[in-house]
Structure 1
Amino acid sequence: MPSQKPSSGYLFVNKTPGLTSSDVVIRLKKKFHLDSIGHTGTLDRFAEGLLILPFGDYTAFSQLFLGEDKTYYAEVELGKKTDSGDLDGVVSEKWTEEQTSNRKKELHWSAQFLVQELAELLGWKVQKAPKISALKVDGKRQSDQVRSGKDVKEKERPIRIERVWDVSFSEDRFCFRIHVSSGTYIRKIVLDLAEKWGLPLVLTRLVRESIGKWTLLGAKTYMETEIQDAKRWQDVLVLPARRVNADEKKAVIHGGYVWDKLPKADETGFYFLEEGTDEIVAWCVYQGRSSHLPYRYSKVFFNPTAKIMFSI
């Protein structure tokens, strides 16, 4: 007898180059006949790697992944530059092998040079988003406006570069792994290095290997993914929990409160779980609650494998 199709869960997908994150979502919704799939951090079209896609009721938890650190594997080609910093962009500069070789000699190009230069990236910084990006300005894609000739001010955001390692190089490229805060553009780092070194660079491969503690290991392409691959909350997002009996559950789903034996304060919140089944009844948080109430409901589930009854 075939197992029952889950109506909620997390899909860990290995996005392949050439598809946008939205392409993957649309194809999976169609493939599995799903009403909703959430985003937890997009990837550029040329990039590949981990997408965590909650569906059904678990889309309620999408926001919890957005602020997580990311790790990437990057490959960079020397002697070529595009307006976007990656291979999807328009080539704006291309050097001969001789030009590239001469500049490398001037820079004293070596493993030591690369390690030292990349080490200088570490710490908190303010990063200007690439002009060629999917960010919206006045409701329109920034990249479209820039390529049409409009002068667009680059948006700035604080980022943190935690670690750079596995640095290697060959005659015409170099590679590295990097651990960064959410919202960091790796191709902008490459564009900035190109400007600093006076050497055209282009990001030729970018693989997202992890989001927070969740890794690419075991993730499948959207074509390989099956709905039964979906992970439940117990496998992905474990929070402090308080189990509720039938009377308490009834009170919760009708907007009442449970006052005793609550978990200790946690910035992510806690679950009310149904006694006996450990199904999620509600996701609660302490932040933003009214002073006279013990917690705030972020999501209340009438049935965590069916529909959300209401949200507050």
Structure 2
Amino acid sequence: MPVRITIDIFSGRENPVVELSAKESQDVLERLKPAEPLVQDEAEKTATPILGYRGLIVEQTGPQAAAKDLPARFRVASGNLVGGGMAHRASDSGFEDFFFSNKGYIKKLKDATAIRKILNQELPRAKDVRDAFTIQPLPFPIFIICSCAPLYEPAWWNDGGQKQLHNNCYNYACNYRSDTFAQPGRAAGAMYTALTCASVKPAAVKDALEDQPGANNKCPEEGHLVALVIAPNVDFHWYRKGRNGYWSHKPGSTQVTNVDNSGHLISDPRTANRGMYTDFCTFMVVKHGHIKIN
């Protein structure tokens, strides 16, 4: 049964996808047979939605899974396997190193060299983030500061299916489900042409977001506040300010979260740990019913 592997690294852009042959798929499934079980903390950290590299998503495509001891869809990160009720070490704990090597299956991508360049920085950063990340429930204030802001309702977005997988940070920030992994400017026929503040911001304006660079983290009288950040020439990411004054976000096709890459609540995206998204571009306002994204 063929296997599809997605490199889960971007938040705004579509992730790179590698389609494997039957022979290659058999090799991958053999390498990824589950070994010893993970402890709970390891499993939770592997599944935590962070910005930057989050692992490989492995999918057994077709009507029936070839490897009965592996779920149809699961994540591989730092040699750990999680998903579909599984939480184990991989038999080949160095599978990611092989996959990204010159002989690995990443070579099937047309832009393999560019992706490797990004990964050279992101792989060690991701390991440091996960090692330092503390899994603990944080009290999320329930008072209302921004009465026009959307409800923080992660369970609605985090369905593990259509809503979660096909809506990205831009969809979430705008509180607009399109199921298209929305791209700034695409609905208006004026999509960005470079992954820079100077290109992505005007594309969002074409979608009817209002640029408010002087908002200074203050709630607007109408609509809700969002923030655009950029990983220079790599990707874009968006945050949105909630009713309680704190911010939340959705890294790519992963779950909605209200913490940054340090596991801290986000009081201001300008000072949050944003990983590779080092450029803070601007605050913008989304007025409900005014925008159209796709």
TM-score bracket, normalised by the shorter chain, equals under 0.3
User: What TM-score results when the alignment is normalised by the length of structure 2?
Assistant: 0.22
Which one has the largest radius of gyration?
1
Instruction: Flag the structure with higher strand content.
Output: 1
